[in-house]
């Protein structure tokens, strides 16, 4: 189902979880497997988190997944891009979780914006853009471009902010380019964090990872390395993909 919004243009109405639906721009940035897998691994890492922050939360796909899965948690989100924030506000209101989900229109790198978020979060999540300027088409839709291209910086900035607002025993879960291992390690070290786990997400059996998801904490630890594959060689959903659907309450 879709309709044309006078501000945002054509919108689609899509199931995010069993109980939450979201509006997305038909030709703009849309939630995808990286959002779903990040929310899933974040929930697995800290299923009983009571204070959750989602950095650069876009239209709210990770934030609302966790709000749905963690009904006792208080959550905060921050998003800088204007069209994405408009969708975020509508989607949070639609899910009727405004009493425990606070959202901020601002840049996660801005100290004045960071000060409004609070401190001592048990869980911090983020799905930063991971194409450097010039590596992807700059002519695409503005909302999509800011979600994909590092115009305001990349994973290092997300880690820096996570390091400022996490509790001492907090957990950060961020996704990024699977080839960015050294960037994540350097960014984590600069933020006072350490990589605890990395999960490579493979779009189809025998293909290279599409992206990776890192779990981080403050204490040094030998990282656990794993992977999930979304489609088998024939293009059918794998057990990993079905686990993601169960996480969203969208059982087949």
What confidence score (pLDDT) does residue 182 get? 95
- What is the reported pLDDT for 147? 84
Pick the CATH number of 31-247 from 1.10.3720.10, 3.20.19.10, 3.40.50.2300, 3.40.50.150: 3.40.50.150
Do 11 and 3 contact (CB within 8 A), yes or no?
A: yes
| Residue 12 vs residues 1, 17, 100, 101: alpha-carbon distances, Å | 6, 15, 26, 23
pLDDT of res. 1: 57
- The whole-angstrom separation of Cα 63 and Cα 92 is 9
For residue 52, report the phi and psi dihedrals to the nearest 5 degrees: -125, 135
State the 10-residue block means of pLDDT for the chain, 252 residues long: 84 97 94 96 98 97 98 97 96 98 97 97 94 66 83 92 98 95 96 98 95 97 96 96 96 68
Question: Which pTM value belongs to this model?
Answer: 0.94
Position 135 scores a pLDDT of 62
Domain boundaries, the chain: 31-247
Q: Which two tokens stand for residue 184?
A: 């994540």
pLDDT of residue 237: 95
């Amino acid at each position: 189902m879709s309709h044309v919004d006078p501000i945002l243009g054509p919108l689609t109405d899509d199931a995010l979880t069993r109980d939450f639906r979201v509006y997305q721009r038909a030709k703009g940035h849309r939630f995808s497997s990286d959002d779903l897998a990040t929310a899933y691994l974040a929930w697995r890492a800290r299923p009983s988190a009571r204070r959750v922050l989602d950095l650069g939360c876009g239209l709210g796909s990770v934030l609302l997944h966790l709000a749905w899965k963690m009904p006792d948690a208080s959550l905060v989100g921050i998003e800088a891009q204007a069209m994405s924030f408009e969708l975020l506000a509508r989607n949070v209101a639609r899910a009727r979780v405004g009493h425990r989900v606070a959202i901020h229109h601002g840049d996660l790198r801005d100290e004045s914006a960071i000060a409004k978020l609070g401190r001592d979060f048990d869980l911090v999540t983020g799905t930063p853009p991971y194409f450097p300027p010039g590596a992807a088409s700059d002519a695409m839709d503005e909302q999509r471009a800011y979600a994909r291209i590092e115009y305001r910086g990349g994973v290092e900035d997300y880690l820096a902010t996570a390091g400022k607002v996490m509790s001492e025993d907090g957990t950060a879960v961020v996704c990024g380019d699977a080839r960015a291992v050294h960037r994540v390690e350097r960014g984590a070290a600069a933020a006072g964090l350490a990589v605890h786990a990395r999960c490579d997400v493979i779009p189809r059996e025998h293909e290279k990872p599409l992206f990776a998801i890192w779990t981080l904490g403050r204490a040094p630890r030998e990282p656990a390395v794993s992977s999930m594959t979304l489609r088998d060689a024939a293009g059918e959903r794998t057990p990993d993909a079905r686990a993601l659907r169960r996480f969203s309450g969208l059982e087949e």
